[in-house]
Structure 1
Amino acid sequence: MSESMAKKFGDLLGKFLDYDASIPFLSQATHMCIRVRLDVTAPLKRKKQIKMGEAVSIFAHFKYEKLSLFCFICGKLGHGESYPF
């Protein structure tokens, strides 16, 4: 986990703004905190498959903080599960 990896994830999710470099031993960390400007009209990404060499692939799972009302069904902000479709 490096600054370049943080920028790649940030640009995948939206517009990369910043990342938390204060996590000790960032190269051995299991998570990374990044700040991203999101397009709130698009669904949020939940995970991304990353290839680590030819035979190994892993999934990066995304967690979001400080969101407004969020629909877990469609992945968009602005309405809850009770919203009529």
Structure 2
Amino acid sequence: MYATAFCPYCVRARHLLEQKGVTWEEISIDNDRERFQEMTRRSNRVTVPQIFIGEVHVGGYDDMAALERAGKLDPLLAHA
């Protein structure tokens, strides 16, 4: 997950992942132009968080929350 320290959507994404009991790699883009450019290349987006499960680009927090509501997040996490 590409994130910044204080982004409210990043905080929500962390909380949801914690509730799921999964571990994740967080890539901070705070003051890191190279990581920001990497994120935009991979996701085609400039907002945080940008969440990848395995090689699947989930999107941001709202996208991940929608997967959770649809019952599609757990199967995706299980296959990562």
Q: Same fold (TM over 0.5)?
A: no
TM-score where L is the length of structure 1: 0.29
Q: Which one has more relative contact order, counting CA pairs under 8 Å at least 6 apart?
A: 2
TM-score where L is the length of structure 2: 0.30
Larger strand share, 1 or 2? 1
